[in-house]
Amino acid sequence: MKLLHYLDKPLFSIRLAMFLAIILSIHPAQAEIRQIYVSNEKSSTLTVLDGKTYDVIRTIKTCRRPRGVHFNKDRTQFFVGCADDNVIAIYDTASGNRVGRIRGIEEPETFDLTPDGKILVVSNEEDATASFVDIATGKVIGTVELGEEPEGVQITKDGSTVYVASEAANLVHVIDVKSMEVTADILVGTRPRRFALTPDESELWVSAELAGLVDIIDTRSLKVIGDIVFLPTGFRRNEVTPVDLLMTRDGKTAFVALGRANHVAIVDVASRKVETYILVGKRPWGLTLSSDEQTLFVANGLSDDISIIDVPSRKVLKSVPVGQVPYGILLDEY
Amino acid sequence: MNFNSLIFLIAALHFYGPAIGASTDKIQTVSLGYAEIIDDPRYEEKRAYARIRVKPHHRPVAGAEVAIRDSRILGRALNIKFQVLLTEANNAKDLAAQIKRMNRDLGVEFFIIDADASVLDFIARETAAMNILLFNISDFSDDLRSSKCRANLMHVIPSYAMLADSLGQFLVFKKWREVLLLKGSGPGDAAFATAFVRSAKRFGIKIDDVRDFVPGNDPREREQNNILLMTSGTDADLVFVSDIEGDFGRYVQYQTQGPLPVIGTEGLQASSWHWAWERHGAPQLNQRFERHANRRMQGPDWAAWTAVKSIIESILRTESIEFETILAYLRSDKLNLDAYKGAPVSFRSWNNQLRQPILLHTYNAIIERAPIRGFLHPVENMDTLGYDRSESRCQLER
């Protein structure tokens, strides 16, 4: 929308037009959000919001306790992990219709997709395993034994390695995708939850919920080389419980949802300093950034709503009530 | 009886694949002790008239077993195999002797003790000079944490004072300020009632009257056995019942003169754990426990689990299996153990009590988690529950 302003001005030239065209082609920046899917863990529903007005369009009944949500490779479908039904349901992105089910996945919590789009690596919370699921056949092709309560799953860009955090064991497991074997267990802060990788994949960031910080792992030495402690004004250490985190594509900025502290932290990645804290709803966990990186969506588990943040101004634009205990958010963009 | 026959082994039932980066090192074994009294009267099948079971009493050893299972992958990372050695005896003297022998012959230094205050006190005195640390997982007595506190005895289960303070905070939060206190004559009833009287004073709650009940139907004692009469002539907003065994307490709800809520050992209760707790990862621990023990997890089970985990966590973080090093970490404010209650737990340095959130629950739902919002402490809000540093008659810090 902002670009249109420039077009009205005399500055406008062919060169600028070309420049803009390049920008547009690099960033799917001007992509618009068609609709927003929110998984609601306790009401076992997906709330669908209009991508522009943020009004709730409809509510889709799902399998029980839907948590992790993830697109397939071309984003035409998405997966929803239902912990209480041991199922991963597959939905058509455009219509929101359920098109398939992968059964027999013990308590799926979150998952990631291999870069070829063929395998889902799923953390099985109750079984203390990660399973490798062949999407085409719906079959589990491998299982890796991990520490108790595995949660966050992160696959590297080349698809060679997957990191899984075990909440109750305070470990980050490094798993070789090809052999499906654990190659290292890294001890981190109390209750590790989710990951973000820097764009060059040299640093793996992992949130440690009950340590109130993010641990930074050097992916070569597999050692913790630093941490970032979060402490919004007026909070004590044990009231700050970071869970979801993500990084911008340029690797300059990270967003961290602080759980019980009811804030989202914005972190300067290079200096590892917190730039600001944004007040959101109660117990924010799930984070999703629009592909133009202008809008951040936050799932507030204990106020049953999502906060929508304008990233440039760092202000909450709106909060929208969804179902009970919202967990994950997906943006259907075009 | 042969000593060896009394020791059982709960090893992590797991095959240890080659541990990474240390695959050539020998796997070390760390053994923890778990000791209990044979025929402990607290676990007698308490059956009321007509064989009705009033409250279930289970030995909490399953909590320790689950904690060992939960640590098998940690063991892989550390190249350590954790196991629990069980021992039992008929009395405190024999149990203390077993513990000393296990320490001497097998090098066991950390013992989880499921026994009452008198046994704990005896064992703590007997082993004071040794490299032994004991964990109380099932006795609530305030004495053990104050006048009788001991440096080598940690308390994982909360004290009566902590439970009573949790309920006291709840009453203030609800503005239910006037209480009628009914108490029984069973073990612990007076202690829990005394703890509540202290809480009432602390939080500005008025105790309208304290009435002792006597079980029976004797009309000459009706002032003490008829709940209708016992709850009449009061302006109280609610009834606090202290009846640990519960045979009288179970008749208080709905039998009161007025429409009074009941708290204490019936109605709204305070516990270190409850199966209906559904936040902070609790469903996962509950499921693991239920799968292992075929029953629901209770407070002492949680305490046994937490005791084992606190030791393993200290070994993990110090990367040491040396007694003094583990001890120093375990008792320091560095301990940041995830005990599935939201706030990480650690031990109070002045009396070895584990500071922890307390769950306020009915029979099937969690109503609140204490410390309740608004009850603030200069350092740590969890220390608004039980005896704070300045109030404690126990000062273990030098």
Q: What is the pLDDT of residues B101-129, one digit of tens each?
A: 999 999 999 999 999 999 999 999 999 99
Residue A314's Cα: distance from chain center in Å?
19
**Per residue in B209-241, pLDDT tens?**
999 998 888 888 888 889 999 999 999 999 999
pLDDT the model gives residue A14: 54
Report, at the CATH architecture level, how domain B4-158+274-356 is classified: 3-Layer(aba) Sandwich (3.40)
pLDDT the model gives residue B7: 57
- Looking at the DSSP bridge assignments, the partners of residue A195 are A206
Give residue B76's pLDDT band: very low, low, confident or very high (50, 70, 90). confident
pLDDT the model gives residue B78: 84
Rounded-to-integer distance, Cα A101 and Cα A252, Å = 38
The pLDDT of B286-311, averaged and rounded, is 97
Contacts 24+ apart (CB under 8 A), B23-29: B25/B79, B26/B79, B27/B79, B27/B80, B27/B81, B28/B79, B28/B80, B28/B81, B28/B321, B29/B80, B29/B81, B29/B82, B29/B83
For the sheet with A305-310, list strands across it: A284-289, A295-300, A305-310, A315-321
Give residue A12's pLDDT band: very low, low, confident or very high (50, 70, 90). very low
Contact A278, A309 (CB under 8 A): yes
Q: Say whether B325 sits in a helix, a strand or coil.
A: helix
Flag whether residue A167 sits within 8 Å of chain B, measured between CB atoms. Answer: yes
Give residue A15's pLDDT band: very low, low, confident or very high (50, 70, 90). low
DSSP A143: E
Question: Is A183 in Cβ contact with B73 (below 8 Å)?
Answer: no
H helix count then E strand count, chain A: 2, 28
Flag whether residue A283 sits within 8 Å of chain B, measured between CB atoms. Answer: no
Question: Is A171 in Cβ contact with B73 (below 8 Å)?
Answer: yes
pLDDT the model gives residue A34: 95
Residue A23: partners with Cβ closer than 8 Å, 6 or more residues away: A29
Flag whether residue B185 sits within 8 Å of chain A, measured between CB atoms. Answer: no
Contact B129, B153 (CB under 8 A): no
pLDDT the model gives residue A185: 94
Flag whether residue A190 sits within 8 Å of chain B, measured between CB atoms. Answer: yes
Q: Which of A21-30, A85-94, A164-173 has the lowest mean pLDDT?
A: A21-30
Question: Is A184 in Cβ contact with B21 (below 8 Å)?
Answer: yes
Q: Which of A19-33, A125-139, B266-280, B289-303 has the lowest mean pLDDT?
A: A19-33
Distance in Å from the first CA to the final CA of chain B: 42
pLDDT the model gives residue A238: 84
Give me the residue from B281, B313, B343 closest to A167, CB to CB. Answer: B281
**Per residue in A230-288, pLDDT tens?**
999 999 888 999 999 999 999 999 999 999 999 999 999 999 999 999 999 999 999 99
pLDDT the model gives residue B48: 67
Flag whether residue A106 sits within 8 Å of chain B, measured between CB atoms. Answer: no
List every span in chain B annotated with CATH 3.40.50.2300.
4-158+274-356, 161-271
pLDDT for residue B361 is more than 80 = yes
pLDDT the model gives residue B54: 77
Residue B93: partners with Cβ closer than 8 Å, 6 or more residues away: B122
Looking at the complex, report in whole angstroms how far the Cα of residue B283 sits from the nearest Cα belonging to chain A.
9
Closest of B330, B332, B333 to residue B315, by C-alpha: B330
| Residue in A with minimal Cα distance to B77 | A185
Contact residues on chain B for A210, CB-CB shorter than 8 A: 336, 338, 343-344
pLDDT for residue A122 is more than 80 = yes
User: What is this model's ipTM?
Assistant: 0.78
Give me the residue from B20, B287, B343 closest to A183, CB to CB. Answer: B20
**What is the maximal distance between C-alpha atoms in chain B?**
79
Give residue B47's pLDDT band: very low, low, confident or very high (50, 70, 90). low
Contact residues on chain B for A241, CB-CB shorter than 8 A: 342
Structure tokens at B143: 């004495």
pLDDT the model gives residue B9: 54
Report, at the CATH architecture level, how domain B161-271 is classified: 3-Layer(aba) Sandwich (3.40)
| Residue in A with minimal Cα distance to B20 | A184
Rounded-to-integer distance, Cα B316 and Cα B378, Å = 30
